[in-house]
Amino acid sequence: MRQPQHARPDDALAPTDAGIPAHFGARRYHAYNDWVKRTHGGRLQKISVAAGFTCPNRDGTLGRGGCSFCNNDGFTPSYLREQPTVPQQLDTGIAFMRRRYPGTQRFLAYFQSYSNTYGELARLQDAYAEALAHPDVEGLVIGTRPDCLPDAVLDYLGALASRCHVELEIGIESCSDAVLAECLRGHDFACTQDALRRAAARGLFVTGHLLLGLPGETRDSLLEGAEALARLPLDSLKFHQLQVVRHTRLAIQYRDDPASVPLLTPAVYVDRVVDMLERLPARLSVQRLGSEVPPELRLSPDWGMRLSAFPALLHACMQQRATWQSRLCTA
């Protein structure tokens, strides 16, 4: 079996004199892009594709309408709606990225919308094979839910990962069962823990997706969640701030009772991210620090800043607190 990527030796580099792990470079946290360059020798650019999958929380298996916060249009590039096939989507996305990042030659097909391991195995295999058949694609990133990962699918992905780069992105959202129930997620944190362990056992690179600021989430529950995540075989995390997106159940709740959805300010959000990073191991890389929803779909909040401003805010907060990722980690 292939060695899990979270056990790579470069994740155990010695700390600097100041206590900050050396592989953080000039940062105070372990950036995914730095890990990619160190491990793969250069940039790996993700190209979003939509293969027509759905979700058990939408098709009636668990529920209909999805989680309270979910509207996939909020993070789906427009070309995915305009181009009907995966090869066409890849052609469009790669052309755009080559214009935006001249010289980029290495691409991963990112199955982003909905739950991309939810379906018959043969259909999943066909969709992945179609993406990998593109001459410029050398691997896959597959977004899904923890309750959509049967062993047969994980076995297949584990075998595929021995031939090409495969990242599995699992929507954790929250580690609190009460918060997950409040947002109609349809599974508990035990399900997430089980999925992470089974995926890592196949040697898959596993990324977790967190949504900070969900109704019912507190600083204490986030800290407890960070300590629980530190004990799990995660390779990477994505942090997102809660945004109320139009045409969701959360949007209706927010209109009816704004106080029931206490949205985070930029300062509080960054502070919460730092709180969590302090308790997460140095081996774990950070892929995203926040997200952007198109203004026409975002009901609230409007922070008046672009996502590109987040790293500087995070660094300033960590510097002010004289802290870094893993400083309080006990795992």
Q: Is the dihedral of CA 180, 181, 184, 190 positive or negative?
A: positive
Name the token pair of 47: 């190209």
Q: What pLDDT, in 10s, does the model give residues 215-240?
A: 999 999 999 999 999 999 999 999 99
Residue among 167, 193, 194 nearest 5 (CA): 167
Q: What pLDDT, in 10s, does the model give residues 131-146?
A: 999 999 999 999 999 9
75: confidence class by pLDDT, cuts 50, 70, 90: low
Q: Please name each of the domains of the chain with its CATH number.
A: 28-320 (3.80.30.30)
pLDDT in the model for residue 7? 38
* Percentage of the residues of the chain whose pLDDT score is greater than 90: 79
Q: What pLDDT, in 10s, does the model give residues 240-282?
A: 999 999 999 999 999 999 999 999 999 999 999 999 999 999 9
Q: Give 219's contacts (C-beta < 8 A, 6+ positions apart).
A: 272, 275
Cα 146–chain centre separation: 13
| Beta strand spans in 145-213 (E) | 165-173, 205-212
72: confidence class by pLDDT, cuts 50, 70, 90: confident
53: confidence class by pLDDT, cuts 50, 70, 90: very high
pLDDT of 192 > 90? The answer is yes
Q: What pLDDT, in 10s, does the model give residues 7-50?
A: 343 444 444 446 899 999 989 999 999 999 999 888 899 999 99
Q: 3-state DSSP call for residue 85? A: coil
Average pLDDT, whole number, for the chain?
91
89-114: string of b/e by CB count within 10 Å (b at 16+)? bbbbbbeebeeeeeebebbbbbbbbb
pLDDT of 96 > 80? The answer is yes
What ranges in 42-150 are assigned the alpha helix state H?
Answer: 79-82, 86-100, 121-132
Region for 206 from its dihedrals, namely left if φ exceeds 0, alpha if ψ lies in -120 to 50, beta otherwise: beta
pLDDT in the model for residue 308? 87
* Percentage of the residues of the chain whose pLDDT score is greater than 70: 92
Backbone dihedral angles phi then psi of residue 223, each to the nearest 5 degrees = -65, -40
For 189, the enclosing helix (H) or strand (E) is helix 189-201
Give the range among 65-69, 125-129, 179-183 with minimum mean pLDDT: 65-69
pLDDT in the model for residue 312? 92
Backbone dihedral angles phi then psi of residue 89, each to the nearest 5 degrees = -65, -40
The more confident residue out of 57 and 17 is 57
Q: What pLDDT, in 10s, does the model give residues 145-170?
A: 999 999 999 999 999 999 999 999 99
58-67: string of b/e by CB count within 10 Å (b at 16+)? beeebeeebb
Q: Is the dihedral of CA 4, 204, 207, 32 positive or negative?
A: positive
Mean pLDDT of the 114-132 span: 96
pLDDT in the model for residue 198? 98
pLDDT in the model for residue 183? 95
pLDDT of 306 > 50? The answer is yes
74: confidence class by pLDDT, cuts 50, 70, 90: low
